[in-house]
Amino acid sequence: MVFYATLQKTFCSRYVYLWLVAGATLTLLPFYKVTKVSTPKDIYGAALLDFYNNEYTEDITVLSPTIEDDILPLPYLFRTFAEMPTIEQQALLLCKGHTLDIGCGAGSHALWLTDNNQEVSIIDQSAGAITVSRKRIHTLSRKRMLKNNITDSIWNHTSQYDTLLLLMNGTGIFEQLSNVDNALQHLKAMLKPGGQILVDSSDLAFLFRDEEDGGIWQDASTDYYGEVTFSMQYKGETTPDFNWLYLDFELLKKYAQKNELCAELIVEGDHYDYLARLTIA
Ligand X SMILES: C[S@@+](CC[C@H](N)C(=O)[O-])C[C@H]1O[C@@H](n2cnc3c(N)ncnc32)[C@H](O)[C@@H]1O
Residues within the interface to ligand X (CB under 6 A): 19-22, 24, 44, 77, 103-105, 108, 123-126, 129, 153-155, 167-168, 173
Smallest distance, ligand X to C-beta of residue 42, A: 8
Residue 82 or 220 having the CB closest to ligand X: 82
| Residues in Cβ contact with 147 at an 8 Å cutoff, skipping those fewer than 6 apart | 98, 119, 120, 121
Smallest distance, ligand X to C-beta of residue 212, A: 34
Residue 99 or 108 having the CB closest to ligand X: 108
C-alpha torsion angle, residues 230, 37, 255, 200 (rounded to 10): -40
Smallest distance, ligand X to C-beta of residue 170, A: 7
Residue 127 or 209 having the CB closest to ligand X: 127
CB of 36 closer than 8 Å to CB of 26 = yes
Instruction: Return d(Cα 96, Cα 195) in angstroms, integer.
Output: 9
Bridge partner residues of 150 (DSSP): 123
Smallest distance, ligand X to C-beta of residue 204, A: 15
Residue 265, helix vs strand vs coil: strand
Strands, E, within 167-247: which ranges?
Answer: 191-202, 227-234, 237-238, 242-245
Smallest distance, ligand X to C-beta of residue 215, A: 29
Residue 22 or 187 having the CB closest to ligand X: 22
CB of 231 closer than 8 Å to CB of 240 = yes
b/e code 54-72 from CB counts within 10 Å (16+ = b): eeeeebbebbeebbebbbb
Instruction: Provide DSSP, 85-111.
Output: -HHHHHHHHH--SSEEEET-TT-HHHH
Smallest distance, ligand X to C-beta of residue 103, A: 2
